[in-house]
Structure 1
Amino acid sequence: METKCDNESNETVPQSDDTNGEPKQEMSKKQMKRLQRHQKWLDSRPEKRRQEKERKKLKAKRLREEGVEVMSRTALKKQYIPMSSSKCKVSVCIDCDFEDYMEEKDMKKLVKQIGRCYAFNRHSSAPVQLYITSVVSKVREVLTKCQPGFTNWDAVCLDSHWTQVFTDKSKIIYLTSDSEDVIPDPKDIVAANDYVFIIGGLVDHNKYKGLSVPYRQAVRHSVRSEG
């Protein structure tokens, strides 16, 4: 009986020798297709960027015609308030101590979300004190690759675990949907201005649903958990 092979087979394709006269490692058809897709994406980036710039120009023009003030990037940068000068002293810490629970693709999504959090805080009129902890090993590698400028961020990025940074447990709250408690009244948070909120840096697509990983972190370190 004949067996059909699909186009995604792992059949290897011989590669030509490199410049040193040594044979290159054989590449499967699946790997070649993945490489071709990636190259196609790289080739399309300049055009996509051009189209995005054009869309932004048209949007800005439309807003001006509607009488809406549109600020330039330079003007926006002048409005940036350094974290150290912010009137808000509430700390928000992204706990990246979940490397063992994520694949590399999940870490990339986490890093993308961290970048968005930073950008939002950077443009805030009263930025929080943003911390990113346990930035080690694979997490640091992915962060360096996907956000190469993170070392210049107006945020505190540390190798240390958050328990080594924040010591007053009465002010620490680990945010998790698994907790039955709720966060304090916003008025109390603003009045105290010294709370520390920990967010579990975990992207797992409910792979570990029921394990309550961030919740167990809070219990293990004897801090409040609220959601």
Structure 2
Amino acid sequence: MSDIEEKPSKIRKLDLPEGAKGSEESPLALFGLGDKNKPEGFREQAGDEANDTQHLESQGVAEEKAVLSKNQLKKIRKQEQWLAGKEYRRTKRRQKHKEKQARKAAAVQEAANDGNEVRKIALAKDSKQHPRRPVQAPIALIMDCDFNDLMTEKELISLGAQLTRCYSDNRSGPFRFYIAVSSWGGSLKTRFETVLANHHLNWKGVRFFESDFQAAAKELNAAMRGQEGGRLVGALSDGEIKATESKPEKLSTEKVVAFVADENTTTDMDDPNPTPSTVYLTSDSPNTLDRLSPNTSYIIGGIVDKNRHKGICYKRACERGIPTAKLPIGEYMTMQSRSVLAVNHVVEIMLKWLETGNWGEAFLSVIPKRKEAKLKVDNGSAEGGEDVTEREDAEGADEFGE
């Protein structure tokens, strides 16, 4: 046999059918072995795998839903409904404002038609009247908000409302303080940026610091001692606290500390790098505040905790060597409940003292009625039947809830 006969012949390449040219089908499909013609056992196995995958996915979703309680799901739905109605509420507010302006214009027109010039002038003045800008005082209030991890969601909501009230009170009175928020971050900041739509960015004169209250006090100290640091107005312009009938003659024997500027105040203000004067206000302090002092930063603990963490602000100040003091509530008032006040109450009391120079009057006008506070008289007992005003604060630390 020759060599040619021993060599095997080449396998001829089969031409694909015309319809199969350029097709992206698999070779199994070309020979009739596609998905439809796969062996029955193979198809069943693939189907079982797909069913298992779907089962696992549905099981994961069910487990995720099972983690949330009914109350949590209810809160989520309520939050979604509130966000959905945001645009509607905004439109409603604008509509009410337009209606109010229209009523004023109609009243002016009616007075003009009746020939009542006096009423017309009064209405016109009332519509153009704007609140007078408060005078800046050289005193700073710093809200120490480094307690996010110690509060519940409801308590964080309460604190946010109290901070909002502090800003409102500070800008609506005849005098105003420097206001700052230190340790700004965490859940509180997230709430302001999301739920409250960053409205804090429009707060004029309020500074937010991610650093602690000591760094904030240092910066505010420079601002207070600057050329436009503020004026000695209200009670700050008096050499002593104004003597009034509501001030008790017999005070308790507890030490009353007066953080008053001494004779070196002028020299200290000329110092290019003066030491910041800082006082941490806490009801646990053994010292009692007698009056507010210019060029001083007063720290207020930004925490709502139903008194669970008693003494935490006092301990925080002592660890850093910061002087502490408490408002003279016990010197002027008798209270049936604890003397711990909400953040906005403390700010409002200090604003009222700056305006009147009288702690008793400040306490009476601010402390909520639920605390059953009464003014002390000369013999140390409570003045018969005189309660505080019936002004209930919705943002109080004990009863607030959104």
Normalised by the length of structure 1, the TM-score is 0.65
* Partner deviation per Cα, 1:174-210 (whole Å, 9 max, x = no partner): 111111211133xxx3xx42121100000111222xx
Tell me if the contact between 2:281 and 2:324 (Cα under 8 Å) persists in the aligned partners.
yes
Task: Return the offset for 1:38.
Answer: 4.7
**Whole-angstrom CA distance in 1 between matches of 2:136 and 2:133:** 13
Mapping for residues 72-111 of structure 1, pairs under 5 Å? 75-76=129-130, 79-81=132-134, 86-111=135-160
Q: Is the 8 A contact 1:106 1:203 kept in 2?
A: yes
Inter-partner Cα distance in structure 1 for 2:83 and 2:193: 19
- Residue 301 of structure 2: aligned partner: 200
Q: In structure 2, give the amino acid aligned to 1:119.
A: S
Q: Residue 165 of structure 1 corresponds to which residue in structure 2?
A: 216
Q: Given the superposition, is the C-alpha separation of residues 99 and 44 from structure 1 closer, same or farther in structure 2, using an over 3 Å criterion?
A: closer
1:220 and 2:326 aligned: no
One-letter amino acid of the counterpart of residue 193, structure 1: P
The C-alpha deviation readout for 1:124-156, integer Å capped at 9, x for no partner, is 221101111110232211222326121221211
Checking the alignment, whether the CA contact within 8 Å between 2:142 and 2:217 is kept in structure 1 is no
SS across alignment from 2:141: strand
Instruction: State percent identity of aligned pairs.
Output: 25
Structure-2 residue corresponding to 1:8: none
Paired position in structure 1 for 2:167: 118
Q: Structure 1 stretch 88-97 or stretch 165-174: which is displaced more? A: 165-174
- Partner-residue secondary structure (3-state), 1:88: strand
Q: 1:219 to 1:43 in 2, by over 3 A?
A: same
Q: Deviations over 1:95-142 (max 9, x none)?
A: 101122112322121111000000110112211011111102322112
Query: 8 Å contact 1:88–1:126 — kept in the other structure?
Result: yes
Residue number in structure 2 paired with 1:151: 201
Does the Cα contact within 8 Å between 1:110 and 1:203 map onto a contact in 2? yes
Residue in 2 aligned with 1:5?
A: none
Q: Distance in 2 between matches of 1:107 and 1:161?
A: 19
Structure 1 equivalent of residue 330 of structure 2: none
Is 1:139 equivalent to 2:188 in the alignment?
A: yes
Contact 2:192/2:199, CA 8 A, preserved across alignment: no
| Shift in alpha-carbon separation, 1:196–1:36, aligned structure 2, 3 A | closer
C-alpha displacement of 1:33: 3.9
Other-structure match for 1:16: none
For 2:199, the aligned partner's letter is G
* Equivalent position amino acid for 1:91 in 2: A
**Structure 2 length as normaliser, TM-score?**
0.39
Inter-CA distance 95–41: structure 2 relative to 1 (3 Å threshold)? same
Residue 177 (structure 1) aligns with: 283
Q: Is the 8 A contact 1:133 1:157 kept in 2?
A: yes
SS state at 1:159 partner: coil
Cα distance between partner residues in 2 of 1:166 and 1:115: 21
- Describe the shift of the 1:40–1:165 C-alpha distance in structure 2 as closer, same or farther (beyond 3 A): closer
Answer whether contact 1:183 1:226 (CA < 8 A) is retained.
yes
Q: Is contact 1:170-1:223 (8 Å) kept? A: no
**CA-CA distance at 1:34 after TM superposition:** 3.9
Task: Report the AA paired with residue 79 of structure 1.
Answer: R
CA deviation after TM superposition for structure 1 residue 161, in Å: 0.8
Taking the aligned partners of 2:152 and 2:201, their CA distance within structure 1 comes to 23
Give the 3 Å change call, closer, same or farther, for CA 179–152 of structure 1 in structure 2.
Answer: same
Q: Are 2:180 and 2:216, in contact at CA under 8 Å, matched by a contact in 1?
A: no
Question: Runs of 4+ in structure 1 displaced over 3 angstroms?
Answer: 22-29, 31-47, 167-170
Structure 2 Cα separation of the partners of residues 147 and 169 of structure 1: 38
Residues 204 and 50 of structure 1, relative CA distance in 2, 3 Å threshold? same
Tell me: CA distance 1:39–1:122, structure 2 relative to 1, closer, same or farther (3 Å): same
**RCO comparison, higher one (Cα < 8 Å, 6+):** 1
Which sections of structure 2, spanning at least 5 residues, go unmatched?
1-56, 105-121, 219-273, 327-402
